[in-house]
Chain A
Amino acid sequence: MFKYIVKRIVLGIVTIWAVATLTFFLMNMVPGGPFLSEKAISPQATAALEAKYGLDKPMSQRYFTYMTDALHGDFGDSLKQRGRTVTSIITSRFPVSARLGGSCVLVSLILGIPLGCIAALKRGKFADSLISVVATCGIAVPSFVICTVLMYFLGVKLAILPTIGLDSIKHYIMPVAALSFYPTAYIMRLMRSSMLDVLGQDYMRTARAKGLAGGVILFKHALRNAILPVITYVGPMLAYTITGSFVVEKIFVIPGLGGEFIKAINGRDYTMIMGTTIFLATLVIIMNVFVDIAYKIVDPRIKLK
């Protein structure tokens, strides 16, 4: 297990390096630059800015400078938000997104797993149909539609919930609801199908034949096997959710990290693009390692090599 983790970490570092390198060269190949605006700034000012941020150097040199600095933990200054470092932006914005995203993952697990189980156990019954309809809606309706509908009714018409910011528990209700709809629905469906799969296995019949209690069968034998696909899904989903959603943050005016990804790309804020990409890649890789370890714990038959 230890050997495995070391191996995954080494592989992870190589992956992050590859992602960083690819991103660096791709973003520089896209036309445009960080210092453009509708009104042209003077050539001197442009040249001075480029010199200040080292953009006048050849690409290969910039690449090595960036990589060396990044290795030392220096991700540079944002080219657009003058006076702020990439690290300071990420560290101030990420906790906001993480709190929101974390709440969403919790909500979707707490709702998704039991509802999925119920749907499987009550297969073909009313509860199953109802859950299936809700799940289909959750997957089909995009989050911005849910946001808008919630905001219109709960925020504007009934005025029972605040529409902007993330200052109190009340502020969380609408964005969390909008964001957790899809993952909840997805987990429900995942749980239902894998539970059905497990329930049809021979060992389940054996367990029942042995006269084991329903609860024991469900929790000890069925759930443990059926939950594996959910774990696979939750790892990367957690990484994406806690790094923020551009749409939901924009609609509810939440100062999270999601908007920064998009703004960095649209504004060609090179250092921010690199910083956020490396950050997200690292999170995804860490989550995947966690998923593998969780697998091993839940299902000892799985060998980590």
Chain B
Amino acid sequence: MKKRVAALFLAAVMVVSVTACGNSSTEEPAAPSESAGETAESGDDTAAESDGGAASTGEKVLSVQIGPNPETLDPALNSAVDGGNMILHTFECLLTVDEEGKLAPGQAESWEVSEDGLTWTFHLRDGLKWSDGSDLTANDFVYSWQRVCDPNVAAPYAETVLSMVEGYEDAIAGDITKLNVVAVDDSTLEVHLTSACSYFGSLAAFATLSPVQQATVEANGDAWAVDADTYVCNGSFYISEWVPGSYIMCTKNPNYWNADAIKLDAIKFNLIEDANASYSAYQTGEVLFIKDVPTEEIPSLEGNPEFYVDPIIGTYYLSLNTQKAPFDDANVRKALSLAIDREYVANTLMQGTYSPASNFMGPGWIDTDGSEFIDNANGGQPYIDTANYEANLEEAKKLLADAGYPDGEGFPAITYSTNDAGYHKVVAEYLQQAWAELGITLDVDIVEWASFTPMRRNGDYEASRNGWVGDYSDPSNMLDLLYSTNGNNDGKFNNAEYDAAMDVSRTTLDAAERSEALHKAEDILMDQAACIPVAYYNDFWLQSDKITGMWHSAYGYWYFMYADITE
């Protein structure tokens, strides 16, 4: 009988044994984290629901969602916006960006630039400490910046942030000590540049240039940044727990110089990938802030005071392969550009989460005198009058006729390539319609993401979706994309005048001259339709009215460190 029972339930037993294995190996470590998560969450609830934060646990935990599990939180290795946003809370650079979007003192309390613009001197605050309590000095910055250049580290942003520093070429080739960044004493850092870089201050606030602790990194290798125990940092919060794919708990760093101004006890970054899951968690109050809002919900959120739309520096644009006929003709490119109803695309198709783009450089980019770059562009006029689509379309038809294709006759069928995410497919379908007005047949080719980028970079396309979000607010960050030899020049635009203007902007020390050169570059870009700007990026998110004291920057980051939860 015994044997029979065993036989009958064998399948079930099999299952039990396997799951039992799973259980025994994980229940133990899971148990403490479980309770920690629970108390933290209930702490959040009590803080949010009863007035004042001093209820039962007394913990004020801000639960937010800004992206999925980050691939890395090593400042040197990160290249993602959401990773960068978390790093902003765990690390602090020499400088930082304040509520007004202006540079503000960070680890450095002051800084100055030599008259020739080639030497930047940063004066660190007194008594800076790492999260483990040890001292942080200017030498830590020297080590960290050299590390960014180290070919064995292979930091993706090395060139962006350090290529203007003396000795960069040698450093990137392996001799990292050649990088001319010097710790004059424990609290003074001197950086020597090969050419003046008016926006180096922005770079000094860029996450890649955060200081990392030499001893920790050397003892643990790349793995230092994946474990809460070895994640030594210097920001307003430190990582107390990281459950990959679930959440990252950042606890207030008592060793932070401005710890007294920090009101939260912890920030919980929920690593939610799916927008609908984020939205549900927001609705139930499990999180108080979500970055990923399902696009289907946007119409119902209009007018909701918890729904925010705020510009970031970046442009959604189309690349045309300027090396291939018929896109080698500027008239053709301009015709294609003018045939797009940008207001319809941004306001209707993209549900107002984007803004129509009249220029390549949108709002938020800062001119050399500190004013908005867009206000000074094209004599203060938009390049494309987005409100006047009908006239633009007439102009487009005329330009196409001038190019030898009246009513699109003789124009070859063209292919538009894009990956499928966000509004990309909707835009592609719209382009089919819009360009049909010119008598042009457009085929849409949806390409899987990982194949799409190399294809576009290699120029194996005719027309394709493209986009850029600025790393720092100097216009060169985006105008460089059309420089003939730039790695992101997907349209293979090659214009000697454009390159010359950009060269001037790189070398000149005169602010007015530099500004003129940058505007000239954009003039050429728009006149030649080197690419087709369609819409400016915005960030849109849901934020509970219980959160106070946080802000959003034009770089696409949210600053939660000085936030508070109120009732």
Contact = CB atoms under 8 A, between A and B. Distances in A.
Interface of A: 30-33, 35-45, 48-49, 51-52, 77, 80-84, 89, 92-96, 98-99, 102-103, 105-106, 109-110, 148, 151-152, 155-156, 159, 162-168, 219-220, 223-224, 227, 230-231, 234, 238, 242, 249-256, 259, 266-268, 290, 294, 297-298
Chain B interface mostly helix, strand, loop or mixed?
helix
A82 B453 contact: no
23 contacts: A32-B453, A37-B156, A40-B487, A41-B487, A44-B151, A77-B222, A82-B72, A82-B74, A83-B224, A99-B23, A102-B22, A110-B12, A152-B280, A164-B270, A164-B280, A224-B8, A227-B8, A238-B18, A253-B270, A253-B272, A255-B271, A294-B10, A294-B11
Contacts of B277: 163-164, 250-253
A163 B280 contact: yes
Given A36-B450, A42-B159, A298 B280 contact: no
A106 B12 contact: yes
Closest 4 CB pairs of A and B: A102-B19, A255-B245, A32-B450, A98-B22
Interface of B: 4, 6-8, 10-12, 14-16, 18-19, 21-23, 25-26, 34, 37-38, 69, 71-72, 74, 77, 79-80, 151-159, 172, 221-226, 243-247, 270-274, 276-277, 280-281, 283-284, 286, 448-451, 453-455, 457, 467-468, 487-488
A163 B457 CA distance: 41
Given A48-B152, A77-B222, A223-B8, A267 B25 contact: no
Contact of A81 (B72, B153, B286): B72
B393 to A, nearest CB: 31
A93 B488 contact: no
Most chain A C-beta atoms within 10 Å of own C-beta, residue among B11, B23, B246, B449: B11
A244 to B, nearest CB: 11
Given A83-B222, A109-B15, A52 B450 contact: no
Contact of B71 (A82, A102, A294): A82
A290 B15 CA distance: 11
B19 A98 contact: yes
Given A83-B225, A96-B26, A106-B16, A164 B454 contact: no
A15 B473 CA distance: 55
B450 A267 contact: yes
Given A93-B245, A165-B246, A227-B8, A44 B159 contact: yes
Given A39-B79, A83-B221, A83-B222, A48 B151 contact: yes
B270 A98 contact: no
Contacts of B21: 98
Given A41-B79, A168-B34, A36 B156 contact: no
A32 B431 CA distance: 27
Contacts of A92: 244
Contacts of A220: 4
A94 B14 CA distance: 18
A48 B14 contact: no
B22 A82 contact: no
Given A40-B457, A41-B159, A255-B245, 14 more contacts: A30-B451, A35-B156, A40-B487, A41-B79, A42-B159, A82-B222, A82-B226, A84-B244, A102-B18, A103-B19, A253-B271, A268-B450, A294-B14, A297-B10
Nearest to B223: A83
B48 to A, nearest CB: 15
A98 B455 CA distance: 39
A39 B488 contact: yes
B491 to A, nearest CB: 13
Nearest to B467: A38
A39 B80 CA distance: 10
A94 B18 CA distance: 12
A16 B470 CA distance: 46
